[in-house]
Copies of this chain bind each other. A is one copy, B any other.
């Protein structure tokens, strides 16, 4: 293994520094830097400019980020703080949209699955020194102030999506279809609790406004199918059985539907079910509140670019939710 003495050794191929470019083009390092950074208020003759650019290109010079960061006190890294990657569908849209937009500005988007238990945020800043932080989930007060201590700007995605409104829309639709007794399938998953609570609160508000009884709450766990059967049974056994269920999301709606069919019942006929998200799988017939992933992503991109440019105006409001009626409700 280590005995390949004949090997010319892949040669770590020395990094090409700006000094190399300077030497090769016969100018000073300062001039190279001015050219490469297009520094305003510094006029460089077009001739040398071209020459330097050409040699830099030829040698394959790429400025070494750690050195830049050390000098500037910040890096070209935009850090996305993610609580959880399991909600891959929408996160993927946002992260990919962001990276494309940032690439044009010379930034790179890196994401970190953040957990206070594993590593306090305060330790993260010196390790990464990001130019900007995008928080994809809620952040506590001390966490917020920890970011302020770092020199990074902060963009919080939290609050962009009106989750409460999603819950309202579910109930409004079910109500319009004649349902009066409604169940609510709430996720057991800790990491989505904030969002889930908002959606539930919206559903409750809508029920109250429409004069319906409070939704009958059941906690379900996608990792434990029996919780779905339990919920279904409980709802069926009620004095006045519920006729429709708001599911926290499409995944839960689909599992509810599968639970029904394994009991010989059918979603949309024996029990109405409505989800949230419009994940690809929902296209098979699940009524849902669609979250416009692309619109959401664009909105986040605008927030980030505004912040990078120190603009204080808000990006335009978008309608991010939309009812999609299909078979199950």
Contacts and interface: CB of A to CB of B under 8 A. Distances in A.
Interface of A: 1-2, 10, 12-13, 15, 60, 62-67, 69-70, 73, 75-77, 79, 84-89, 91-92, 95-96, 99-100, 103, 108-113, 115, 118-119, 122-129, 148-149, 151, 222-225, 228, 251, 254-255, 257-259, 261-262, 266, 280-281, 283-285, 312, 327
Copies of this subunit: 2
A108 B112 contact: yes
B126 A103 contact: no
Nearest to A255: B284
A100 B91 CA distance: 21
Contacts of A255: 281, 283-284
A122 B62 contact: yes
Interface centre among A62, A85, A88 (most CB of B within 10 A): A85
A73 B12 CA distance: 11
Contact of A99 (B10, B64, B118, B257): B118
A129 B64 contact: yes
B75 A99 contact: no
A12 B66 contact: no
